[in-house]
Structure 1
């Protein structure tokens, strides 16, 4: 039954407070006393098998469901504060599109057809598109974040790392959980989840969440809300225990985000309207409707067969699709100067067959075949009513589709050379094939493509692009690691990993400005060497994990956009050679029976070694090696916190707090006015748990000092008569009260 046990020795309480240390707290046997016995064993599946986090020669952080709920974590972007050298944020101008970077590798541009650098997985199902990937935290078992290339077991688009979202397992027990939350800006959330057994061997479960909040600001000229939240999500699941050795699990999820589109904050005074920057960074103006829709859904069917004591087989069949219809006013003045309505659509089908072997002595193995078939389509209009006003304005429609077929064969084995020394060897052979259709038409006059995508706007004034291109790439990604147990509580390891991220086609391609832009850009390659140590000290009261890494980053894909007289020139540049190096430090310490202290520190030095930029309009080349820097990669990140437990006659009270700091962050490849200076966020929570473990009441305060910090923006200087330098910001200070009941 779902009866959480809140004892002073629980690491869950530690992570519930500050989340600075990776942890997934497993409940101890009921015979364990309330005396401090040390930190709990943390289980992860980073290597596609269940094992202790201290035995895995991989940099991995893990957060349990209770831990996340206890500090009021609402979605996965809040994990950014708890993971070293990571950026996990909502993308510019959106509500639910994900920008994810780990160790300097990621995807800044969420345009359809581009590949992420950090792979997102829902129950081992790869999510190819960032739209709708800001996953809400509800009805989960844990979230794992793997740092560094995971090219062997997780595939081609995990060269920065992988984020694994693991939903709650069906157990057959009768469970029902209800939680309601109210808070700042009229927050009104309700989450309901439960499960039961229909027969002795057939279980079903369901979860639903309605998440609502007024805007942090407003569109001043229309009175509409800005930065509001209006989201509904639900999940259905079923599990059939076919016999003692086989089971079949079905899962379906659906999310509908109807929050308003986000308006940017102007950093400069408008040359057209004279509008100066507002005092409130969440205020904006718009000349467009603020309607916005993001819909995602997916299903998966997982079959497990324990063939015998040594061999097991797994099949994961899955399909996902998404739809986005949104509007972005780049100038944010209220005047119709530079507006972009857009539609994104995508669908994917994946099939993975996996075998595993373990003789429970000195060797185990995981291997399989992975197939991916996906289509990503989109269209957006650059609407310029005041540009060439004598001709009624100009509209540039840009769109197309990318079809991707990918086949991979992978395997990884662990061989215990001795009781203390283990060798890991793995590899993955991937072949990607892509075919892209791209168009870019210029029309005289104004229209909104997302109001009627099938409308006939007549003969375009100019055909800037109209082509079909295809390409394929093959890559073998090896991995080797050696880990040695210096003692029962100390393990050291060294590893080499290779990561591969597919090439592609710039869907903004304008051949009239760049005649060769129909040629696909190349894949990215990352080679990483890592050395680490995982320790448990002071009779198990302290856990200390450290890692140092060095990465050779080749052909980094950088999206470069420039304003030219004929419009916006775009290209994806393979930015030569780069070097990324740094270290990570994570610790949790049970200082007393009731006080825990945590700390996390990440340092990264990422720089370009050689980059030559070619101006598409003129063909001129410039060495920008010393002018460019890595995006979304602060040099220093850290988090410190505490967790204090008080036992009372009416239940247990847990008081926690943490401070998370991020160093200066550059938003684009070149310095700009949008770059964010270093800042820190201070959070605290007070949670009461009833003696019978049924009731909980949590008071959560986030960003208590009301820090103002940018997480994205658009940076176009003089553009069609005005500028478009606008920023988007993280959440202000919020306070929420959550009441939960489980039975």
Structure 2
């Protein structure tokens, strides 16, 4: 495991060495007055209330509508997190944001198999399918990140994060049916400045951050930033004698701002991010009954092998997975935003290229037995985006019009291989006496390890994705109090795919053969058994469509500090193509109608009110929403396959509705607090051909599908909340003036389903997490504090999952235990 702390220290030293000549150069020049900062840079922190908050103003500037506005003037449900709050609460990646934002959900088996949802919708839980897109748009410095895996980076020099809830299809694009996350990094400064931070904690946690900025010339400024995180794993693998689920990441970003003219700014950015931990495995959580014969369920199979997991208590944090583990996640890119002030309006261009390299290794049988010995789908993606926007502000109205182009090419070359335990674990030996292990007759295929040992599937997957759009948004002030805001977006999508799975196995005569549905070995009993576990497939799916999104927003200024609004939005999430394999007919031919899925069509209604009182020390925002989705893209397990595979299907209709409230009080410079809560009602309104829950699988009479209309959607808690407070007192330390402070933040979520079709065995129980911090800071940017997260060592699962073969084994992902440490930060 590489230790990246020395690299961070070296990078910090190198940056500082570069910075001093910049500072000297700046002193010899007379720099131009700085332009007003972008909206994000003027924002105050909302949760946690760090030292830079302004209690009397309560003003937070955002760019949710592509122009700088006070968040309380924007008729959209928005949560805002400033960089200081992120640093203080330890929210250094998207996953940790969920503890501050109750309606933001993050689920990850590994970086590739990650989904981010808002209000419970966005992407289905389960194994990622290359041919679909997310429903939460992620933007960093205005650049769209198509794959969630490419946004699992540790934050580097963040200025502000805006979480926009509800469809944002007009301005943020087709795949924002649930909302958008807009991340802004700190811009280069024409005044020399720098920051460094080091954190140490238990589990050998080490984190270092550094940034420096200053002028290169009168019209050129630069910012360089780096971050590294390293932590020992929280689960011990007794099979390999190593800790897994570790953290190991490095991020570097460089930005150059060129003020080409008085009216034109060009910003060139490049970043590189690498995560390379020993990760990721889900471990034994529990066992449930299935319809498989008892001698073919987990307990009997494990006994037949003389096998037992190292612990049946997942919170002992032990596993014995025997396949190699890796989760190498590399991504980066270049971008060039340009802002041209034309007097009457501003023309913006954002040009970007990004890449993503994914190098995994998994244990997909979730045990210490050699069942699936290799499972990996390494991928490479290139993404190109170009956006043009023109924003105009007139008397009584303003508007934004623009065009967007996107191209993505992704190649995945996967490999899955079965081991000597696969035959007995996976194959059905036929009718056997009750209580028998199923191997009384040696000739039974399930009793012969050679039948499936070495069965190998080589998968070749290709995706090309092109998207073009034109959009416009108008804000028309009918009166001093009433504003009407219509928006529209026309989008064209085309996806073409290639899926080829070539399967090789051992025939009964001992020769290696292609596993096929025709040919001289098609009826060989070993080949027939192998086809039932991993069938060859080839198909080339295509999706092509034009879609129209539109919305209408009405806002009314009731008083200077109270804004009421109503929104209707018609949005969509792009249709997709299945690139994980599809069901086959009796002859083994892929059912091509399952090769593509229809777009999600979203009807969304929202009512809200934003208010401030007590001289704007108190903010209270309330939102009610009702979202209906037709052709919801659901993840379905393919019961035809002996391996854990998934494909997508359209559910007829789902509904998500609820109420959210956000409360912030900045009582004085000495105390502030916040609380956010949400109630969310959610269900499949109609899904009559859904996958059945796992307890109904595995039997000869198990239903091929189930009607789950009226059941919960996966991943959504009915109740969710976050809250926190901070208090401080003046203090002197080593002759300097400052303040001591105590902070607390917490989150809660109620029970949720972790499976596409709800099962009592796959519900994750509700839990709450509590975090504390205490320290000393000064106005000059020095801050030293101790912290503890999950202070009461809550035992909870992030996710539960069914496992292959209908054996009844449930694998789980325990959340982080209690962690503690200290941080020192200083500006210079």
Partner of 1:602: 678
Partner of 1:659: 746
Partner of 1:189: 207
Partner of 1:149: 167
**Equivalent pair of 2:196/2:827 in contact (CA under 8 Å):** yes
TM-score by length of 1: 0.90
Question: What is the aligned counterpart of 2:363 among 314, 321, 329?
Answer: 329
**Equivalent pair of 1:510/1:517 in contact (CA under 8 Å):** no
Partner of 2:63: 45
Q: 1:615 to 1:661 in 2, by over 3 A?
A: closer
Partner of 1:417: 478
Provide the C-alpha distance between the structure 2 equivalents of 1:664 and 1:287, rounded to a whole number of angstroms: 32
Name the SS for the 2:98 alignment partner. helix
**Equivalent pair of 1:178/1:192 in contact (CA under 8 Å):** yes
Cα drift, residue 70 of structure 1:
1.9
**Equivalent pair of 1:97/1:133 in contact (CA under 8 Å):** no
**Equivalent pair of 1:604/1:634 in contact (CA under 8 Å):** yes
**Equivalent pair of 1:102/1:147 in contact (CA under 8 Å):** yes
Question: What is the aligned counterpart of 1:15 among 14, 32, 47?
Answer: 47
Structure 1 range deviating more: 564-573 or 495-504: 564-573
Provide the C-alpha distance between the structure 2 equivalents of 1:598 and 1:708, rounded to a whole number of angstroms: 25
Partner of 2:118: 102
1:631-680 deviation per Cα after TM superposition (whole angstroms, max 9, x unaligned) = 11111111222211111133112211122110111111222323211110
Do residues 467 (structure 1) and 539 (structure 2) align? Answer: yes
Q: 1:159 to 1:696 in 2, by over 3 A?
A: same
Cα drift, residue 710 of structure 1:
1.5
**Equivalent pair of 2:100/2:722 in contact (CA under 8 Å):** yes
Partner of 1:633: 716
Partner of 1:454: none
Cα drift, residue 292 of structure 1:
2.9
Gap runs ≥5 in structure 2: 1-22, 24-33, 35-41, 288-297, 424-448, 518-534, 693-699
**Equivalent pair of 1:718/1:724 in contact (CA under 8 Å):** no
TM-score by length of 2: 0.81
**Equivalent pair of 1:226/1:282 in contact (CA under 8 Å):** no
Structure 1 range deviating more: 382-391 or 62-71: 382-391
Alignment of 1:237-636 (within 5 A): 237-268=255-286, 271-272=301-302, 273-275=307-309, 276-278=311-313, 280=315, 282-308=317-343, 310-339=344-373, 340-359=375-394, 361-385=395-419, 386-388=421-423, 389-391=449-451, 392-444=453-505, 459-461=514-516, 464-512=536-584, 515-517=591-593, 519-564=595-640, 567-568=643-644, 570-613=646-689, 622=705, 624-626=707-709, 628-636=711-719
Name the SS for the 1:649 alignment partner. strand
Provide the C-alpha distance between the structure 1 equivalents of 2:669 and 2:322, rounded to a whole number of angstroms: 59
Question: What is the aligned counterpart of 1:734 among 796, 816, 819?
Answer: 819
Cα drift, residue 694 of structure 1:
3.4
Structure 1 range deviating more: 707-716 or 732-741: 707-716
**Equivalent pair of 2:450/2:506 in contact (CA under 8 Å):** no
Do residues 644 (structure 1) and 721 (structure 2) align? Answer: no
Partner of 1:201: 219
Provide the C-alpha distance between the structure 2 equivalents of 1:485 and 1:615, rounded to a whole number of angstroms: 48
Provide the C-alpha distance between the structure 2 equivalents of 1:435 and 1:279, rounded to a whole number of angstroms: 42
Cα drift, residue 393 of structure 1:
3.6
**What CA RMSD, in Å, does the superposition of the two structures yield over aligned residues?**
2.5
Cα drift, residue 167 of structure 1:
0.8
Name the SS for the 2:47 alignment partner. helix
Cα drift, residue 511 of structure 1:
4.8
Structure 1 range deviating more: 437-446 or 480-489: 437-446
Partner of 2:18: none
Name the SS for the 1:688 alignment partner. strand
**Equivalent pair of 2:249/2:273 in contact (CA under 8 Å):** yes
**Equivalent pair of 1:683/1:702 in contact (CA under 8 Å):** yes
1:297-344 deviation per Cα after TM superposition (whole angstroms, max 9, x unaligned) = 111011111011x22111100011101111111233222113422212
Cα drift, residue 228 of structure 1:
0.8
**Equivalent pair of 1:13/1:643 in contact (CA under 8 Å):** no
Structure 1 range deviating more: 626-635 or 163-172: 626-635
Judging by fraction of residues, say which structure has more strand. 1
Q: 1:188 to 1:97 in 2, by over 3 A?
A: farther
Provide the C-alpha distance between the structure 2 equivalents of 1:618 and 1:509, rounded to a whole number of angstroms: 24
1:162-216 deviation per Cα after TM superposition (whole angstroms, max 9, x unaligned) = 0111111112111111111100101111111111111010111111112111111
Provide the C-alpha distance between the structure 1 equivalents of 2:196 and 2:668, rounded to a whole number of angstroms: 33
**Equivalent pair of 2:102/2:720 in contact (CA under 8 Å):** yes
Q: 1:615 to 1:303 in 2, by over 3 A?
A: closer
Cα drift, residue 27 of structure 1:
6.6
Structure 1 range deviating more: 398-407 or 97-106: 97-106
1:400-449 deviation per Cα after TM superposition (whole angstroms, max 9, x unaligned) = 11111100000001011111111101110001001010112222169xxx
Alignment of 1:85-96 (within 5 A): 85-89=103-107, 91-92=108-109, 94=110
Name the SS for the 1:16 alignment partner. coil
Cα drift, residue 517 of structure 1:
4.8
Q: 1:14 to 1:501 in 2, by over 3 A?
A: closer
Question: What is the aligned counterpart of 1:712 among 799, 803, 828?
Answer: 799
Gap runs ≥5 in structure 1: 3-9, 19-24, 29-36, 447-456
